[in-house]
Amino acid sequence: MFRYTKFTALREVVFWVIAVAFLAPFYFLVATSFKSDQETLTTTALTPPSSIDFGNFIAVLTATGNSNVIMGLINSILITTGSILLLVLFGALTGYVIARSTRRWSRGVYFLFLVAIILPTQLGTVPLYIGARTVGLTGSIWGMIILYTGMLLPLSIFLYAGFFRGLGTDYEEAATIDGASRTQIFFRIVLPLMSPATGTVAILCGLIVWNDFFTSLIFLGGSANQTLPVAMYYYIGSLVSAWNKIFAIVIVSMIPILGFYLFAQKRFIQGFAGGLKG
Amino acid sequence: MTGTVESETELIVLPKKGARRGPEAQQPRRSGLLKFGHWWWALPGIILVVLIHYVATAVGGFFAFTDWSGIGDFAFIGFDNFVKIFQDPTKIAALGNTLFLAFASVVLSNIAGLAIALGLNRGLKTRYVLRVLFFMPVVLSPLAVSYIWKFIFDFNGPLNAMLGAVGLEELAKPWVADPAWAIWTVLIVIVWQNTGFAMVIYIAGLAAVPVEIEEAAAIDGTNLWQRFWHVTLPAIRPAVAIATTLGIVNGLRVFDQIMALTAGGPAGATETLATQVYKQSFSLGNFGYGAALALLLTLIILAFALVQQRVTNGRPEES
């Protein structure tokens, strides 16, 4: 009875109109980023740029010092990649033990992680900052990787434990009979079977790390190892309403994640919907 | 699974605990060592989480009762910090803003997300493309998104240009710098970014609702609204619980959008607990006071997450 009728076609048109209005901010973003300084001031935001001028992008990418965008980009990539690797490794190991253990403590530990997902980071930030400063981990890429790993590990463990619970023990038993060691079983058989979970963890945690501003502002602000959001924040702080330049850097910061999203949109959406439903 | 009695010949009532765990649970508990993997594999994860979440939070909670400035000595001052918070109108206003932004953004983005999810749920040929488009803002950094909106709300920005184009020039104003409107601009940015997230959760929830039930209800003569209210909505209750809980938790700690849009201004009109925690602890060096604010924020978030879970998951699930 839910056939494609004239009414459905109308609904389709209405939703496209809504979508265009919803994404209108992107038009202003792109249009303004190609305008010259003069044009930004004289034309309204609705008019398209008179010519495609990459000058703003060149200016943004060659900025130095506190707002070195290229360095920010590299740091963000390093920190995000490192965090994802550790989150997958520790998350999978811990989630596996929790899901497979029949001991009572594993339920307690699981609950410990569950609460940690909701626990906001603000209260722990000051002690963490002092702790990191004492051991010299502020302003360092390794410090950030460890910090993000610890912060997002509860989410990673929660996701992995959920996936492991749905996996029967048949594969492991067969491998045991074939004489594989526990380490071999885990890394050669179980973990490869978990690639949907790994994908979800990598996407969800990767996105949070990549977009994080609060933590990196506190731990990396002013150092040479700033991430992209912090570099962007400082760069924009130095520009007073130079919207064409501001938008050039906003676009530069968006391209990696948008490209990745459009390339793997199905995994992104499934990761969010399935992963967070738990 | 094994808990349900499968046939009449097997009328054994298993104890509930064993039933949940399956065959392994019947082994003696003493030998509860893992059959696969080693228990110490969980150690790095447990240690990291305990240190970074629990120890740090506990230490932060301790400093909330001191007057520490970040260096040197400190004194234990009991609840003085909290008394100070509740006697300071700007902190009360920040608390009010935090609650307002969290609730208003959850309500608005969930209504919008659910409406889009329902609209895209069945029939549309381009629903996958539309879904990708509506979800796009979710993956972007809140900071970057806020800058785009700051431009839109700028006095020389598109919003005022559009108002001018339809002859409503007198309504034009510097939205972000207007004490009465600034908080609404923050709200719009949050809602714009969270709608796609709510939509995706609801699409997943709706996919699990069988078409037959809706068809049966339609044959019984229900109208669209009745079908939504009595059939669809109860069926997606878990999705509502997830989307609203996550929305509240994230809404209560809103920080990036405010730093980018207003930095708490004009005249503190958009300060939230999170921005105040940052300013007190890191800009002004009042670590103790900042920790007290953070403790307040933490307690509010935990309380809401608990209440939310109770309310939306109220009825025990029937299987």
Share of chain B above pLDDT 70, in %: 87
Q: DSSP string spanning A186-254?
A: IIIIIHHHTHHHHHHHHHHHHHHHHH--HHHHHHHTTSTT--HHHHHHHHHHHSSS-HHHHHHHHHHHH
Q: Which positions in chain B touch A241 (Cβ < 8 Å)?
A: 154
Residues A28 and A132 in one domain: no
Q: Cβ of B158 and A45 within 8 Å?
A: yes
- Cβ–Cβ contact B189 with A under 8 A: no
Residues A229 and A188 in one domain: yes
**Å between B154 CA and nearest CA of chain A:** 9
Judge whether A14 lies within some domain.
Answer: no
Judge whether A141 lies within some domain.
Answer: yes
The predicted pLDDT at position A275 comes to 59
Residues A248 and A120 in one domain: yes
Q: Report chain A's C-alpha Rg in angstroms.
A: 23
Q: Which positions in chain B touch A44 (Cβ < 8 Å)?
A: 156, 158, 161
- Cβ–Cβ contact B221 with A under 8 A: no
Q: Which positions in chain B touch A147 (Cβ < 8 Å)?
A: 52
Cα(B69)–Cα(B92) distance, integer angstroms? 22
Judge whether A182 lies within some domain.
Answer: yes
- Cβ–Cβ contact B209 with A under 8 A: no
The predicted pLDDT at position B314 comes to 54
The nearest alpha carbon in chain A to B132 belongs to: A265
Q: By three-state DSSP, how is residue B66 classified?
A: strand
Report pLDDT digits (tens) over A151-209: 999 999 988 988 888 887 888 888 888 888 888 888 888 888 888 889 889 988 999 99
Residue reference for tokens 């890429």: A141
Residue B238, phi-psi category: left (phi > 0), alpha (psi -120 to 50), beta (remainder): alpha
- Amino acid residing at A183: T
Residues A156 and A249 in one domain: yes
Report pLDDT digits (tens) over B112-150: 999 999 888 877 888 889 999 999 999 999 999 999 999
Q: What is the pTM assigned to this prediction?
A: 0.85
Higher pLDDT, B107 or B177: B107
Q: Which positions in chain B touch A262 (Cβ < 8 Å)?
A: 132
Query: Residue A102 is part of a domain; what is its CATH number?
Result: 1.10.3720.10
Residue A4, phi-psi category: left (phi > 0), alpha (psi -120 to 50), beta (remainder): beta
Q: Cβ of A122 and B242 within 8 Å?
A: no
The predicted pLDDT at position B100 comes to 94
Kindly list the distances between the CA atom of residue B266 and the CA atoms of B22, B23, B91, B261, in Å, as whole numbers in the listed order. 60, 63, 15, 10
Residue reference for tokens 């602890």: B281
Q: Cβ of A213 and B44 within 8 Å?
A: no
Q: For residue A153, how far is the Cα from the chain centroid?
A: 14
Judge whether A5 lies within some domain.
Answer: no
The nearest alpha carbon in chain B to A100 belongs to: B34
**Å between B86 CA and nearest CA of chain A:** 18
Q: Cβ of A112 and B50 within 8 Å?
A: yes
Q: Cβ of A44 and B158 within 8 Å?
A: yes
The range of the structural domain enclosing residue A113 comes to 66-277
Residues A142 and A102 in one domain: yes
- Cβ–Cβ contact B134 with A under 8 A: yes
Report pLDDT digits (tens) over B238-263: 888 888 888 888 899 889 899 888 88
The predicted pLDDT at position B34 comes to 66
- Cβ–Cβ contact B277 with A under 8 A: yes
The predicted pLDDT at position A106 comes to 78
**Å between B180 CA and nearest CA of chain A:** 22
SS (H, E, C) A81-120: HHHHHHHHHHHHHHHHHHHHCCCCHHHHHHHHHHHHHHCC
Residue-by-residue pLDDT tens, chain A, 278 positions = 566 778 888 888 999 999 999 999 999 898 888 888 878 777 777 778 887 778 888 887 877 766 688 888 899 999 999 999 999 999 999 998 888 887 777 788 888 888 888 888 888 888 888 888 888 888 888 999 999 999 999 999 988 988 888 887 888 888 888 888 888 888 888 888 888 889 889 988 999 999 999 888 888 877 778 888 988 888 888 877 788 888 888 998 899 899 889 888 888 888 777 655 54
Cα(A233)–Cα(A231) distance, integer angstroms? 5
Judge whether A2 lies within some domain.
Answer: no
Judge whether A238 lies within some domain.
Answer: yes
In degrees to the nearest 10, what's the CA dihedral of A219, A139, A226, B176? 30
Exposed, middle or buried by CB within 10 Å (0-12, 13-18, 19+), for A89? middle
Q: Chain A to chain B, count of Cβ pairs less than 8 Å apart?
A: 282
The nearest alpha carbon in chain B to A152 belongs to: B49
Least CB–CB distance from A23: residue in B25, B133, B297: B133
Residues A48 and A73 in one domain: no
CB A100 within 8 A of CB B37: yes
Report whether pLDDT(B14) > 60. no
Residues A170 and A268 in one domain: yes
Least CB–CB distance from B151: residue in A11, A23, A243: A243
Judge whether A8 lies within some domain.
Answer: no
Strands (E), chain B: none
- Number of separate domains in chain A: 2
**Å between B205 CA and nearest CA of chain A:** 9
- Token reading at A63: 């900025």
Report pLDDT digits (tens) over B42-89: 888 889 999 888 998 998 888 888 888 877 777 788 888 888 888 888
The predicted pLDDT at position A151 comes to 92
- Cβ–Cβ contact B305 with A under 8 A: yes
Residues A42 and A135 in one domain: no
Report pLDDT digits (tens) over B264-289: 878 888 899 999 988 888 888 888 88
Judge whether A6 lies within some domain.
Answer: no
Residues A125 and A49 in one domain: no
Q: Cβ of A97 and B37 within 8 Å?
A: yes
- Token reading at B28: 């003696």
- Amino acid residing at B155: F
Structural domains in chain B plus CATH codes: 85-312 (1.10.3720.10)
Q: Which positions in chain B touch A21 (Cβ < 8 Å)?
A: none
Which residues neighbour B110 within 8 Å (Cβ) at sequence distance 6 or greater?
B198, B240, B243, B244, B247
Mean pLDDT for chain B?
81
ipTM over cut 0.95: no
Residues A35 and A146 in one domain: no
Report whether pLDDT(B3) > 70. no
Residues A197 and A228 in one domain: yes
Residues A143 and A185 in one domain: yes
Which neighbouring-strand residues pair with B76? B66
Q: At residue A140, what are phi and psi to the nearest 5 degrees?
A: -115, 145
